[in-house]
Amino acid sequence: MNRTATETSPTTPQVSVIIPARNEEASLGPCLESLVSQTGVPFEVIVVNDHSTDRTGEIAVSFPTVRVIEAGPLPAGWTGKNNAVAIGARAARGSWLLFTDADTVHQPGSLARAVAEAEEHHADLLSYSPEQIAVTFWEMAVLPVVFAELARQYPPSKVSDPNSPAAAANGQYILITREAYDAVGGHASVATSILEDVALARAVKASGRTIRFRYAADAVRTRMYRNFHQLREGWTKNLALLFPHPGWLAVKTLLLWSLPWIVVCLKIAGLLTGAAWCEIVLATIGFQVFRIARAKFRLTMTLFGAIFGMPMFAYLVVRSKRAHDGGHVSWKGRTYEGKTEPPVSSNIKRTSITSGKLA
């Protein structure tokens, strides 16, 4: 069945929205509700049902304007998400492709604004870092630390700078021109990559095309993980690939977090005298809060991150490194070989091109 959203012309959607979905019954409904109601640009919505065993497929087909495609067998060596989005891209008819996750909710009018933003900045790839919704204790503690470190590793200003080799994208929201997508080989070129969003961004930037990357609470929000198990497995899959020296990062994070507590213990033990100890504690905690604040969470969550999240982040980084070093990374019932990505800090060789508009 070939079904398109209300705003879409039967023959000329400008944007094809592609959603890979594997056991997403908890989040797919609100995601599709936010997408099919978009206005201001012709579009189609495609859900690729990736062998779901829950109500994902039923929810998808309940939206009469959404095209639902079954993922089919997983090719050898491919990750499930890469296979699903590649299938969706082959079926897409838009000159722009938006790859977005089933756990996202899109603000009214954000699709048209994103296309306009990409065109205004002559970007071939536009990626948004969504507002992160946190509900449980560990979500509130860990997410601010993770996203603060990501902001340090992938500064949006550098990623968006054509003269900088830095390249990154957030797979929860990648808008790319069909021309650029096909030119770099699409997801087939990163088929084995667990960190496919960064790998695709690297390919786009290496081709000489332009990336625009920013925090976008005004456009999209997401709740990535709904319990501790999902959070642990999700970041185990990704963290060791996102940072060039994960072991050192874990040690540095633990040292920074433990310093004020060490000073307090020394004071209690009578090994420190005078008022300087208090200044050291306050200064160190202040530095931690300042460091985490770049993640743009509210103050209470920033404090949660500084007090509880930093040791948990260190644990997750170590767990991720061990999983990748061991060559087995699990996610949504599938197991992949670890460390198939090039180093995060690798330089990008750029080539000149004569055309390109964002993604």
Question: Domains in the chain, ordered, with CATH?
Answer: 15-130+170-226 (3.90.550.10), 230-336 (no CATH)
Whether the CB-CB separation of 304 and 144 falls below 8 Å is answered with yes
> What's the confidence (pLDDT) of residue 238?
94
- pLDDT of 301: 94
Report residue 267's pLDDT band, with 50, 70 and 90 as the boundaries.
confident
User: What pLDDT is stored for residue 6 in this prediction?
Assistant: 40
- pLDDT of 346 over the 70 cut: no
pLDDT class of 312 with cuts at 50, 70, 90: very high
Average pLDDT in the 254-270 region?
Answer: 83
Rounded Cα distance between 118 and 211, Å, is 9
CA–CA separation, 114 and 119 (whole Å): 9
Band of residue 199 on the pLDDT scale cut at 50, 70, 90: very high
Lowest mean pLDDT among 312-316, 317-321, 328-332, 351-355: 351-355
pLDDT of residue 147: 96
Cβ partners under 8 Å of residue 182, min gap 6? none
Provide the pLDDT for residue 350.
42
**pLDDT band per the 50, 70, 90 thresholds, residue 305:** very high
pLDDT band at 201 (very low <50, low <70, confident <90, very high): very high
Average pLDDT over residues 274-291: 81
Whether 176 and 97 have beta carbons less than 8 Å apart is answered as yes
Continuous segment of H or E residues that includes residue 179 = helix 178-183
Give the percent of the chain with pLDDT over 70: 89
* Cα three-residue angle 182-220-9, rounded to 5 degrees: 55
What is the model's pLDDT at position 41? Answer: 97
Q: How far apart are CA 51 and CA 88, in angstroms?
A: 14
The pLDDT score that the predictor gives to residue 286 is: 86
- pLDDT reported for residue 280: 77
The count of C-alpha atoms lying within 13 angstroms of the C-alpha of 22, restricted to the half-sphere facing its C-beta, is 16
Asked if pLDDT for residue 344 goes beyond 70, the answer is no
pLDDT of 108 > 70? The answer is yes
| pLDDT at 348 (0 to 100) | 46
The H or E element containing residue 174 is: strand 173-177
Which letter does DSSP use for residue 95 in this model?
S
The bridge status of strand 220-222 relative to strand 104-106 is antiparallel
- Does residue 352 have a pLDDT over 60? no
pLDDT score, position 285? 85
Give the H/E segment covering residue 2. none
Q: What is the pLDDT of residue 260?
A: 85
- pLDDT score recorded for residue 2: 40
pLDDT at site 92: 97
Burial 41-61 (b: 16+ CB within 10 A, else e): bbbbbbbbbbbbeeebbebbe
Contact 43, 13 (CB under 8 A): yes
Instruction: Find the mean pLDDT for residues 10-36.
Output: 94
Categorize the per-residue pLDDT at 274 as very low, low, confident or very high, splitting at 50, 70 and 90: low
* Cβ neighbours of residue 88 closer than 8 Å, sequence gap 6 or more: 16, 18, 19, 20, 46, 48, 69, 99
* Residue appearing with tokens 């390109």: 356
- Cα 184 to Cα 118: distance, rounded to the nearest angstrom: 18
pLDDT band for position 8 (50/70/90)? very low
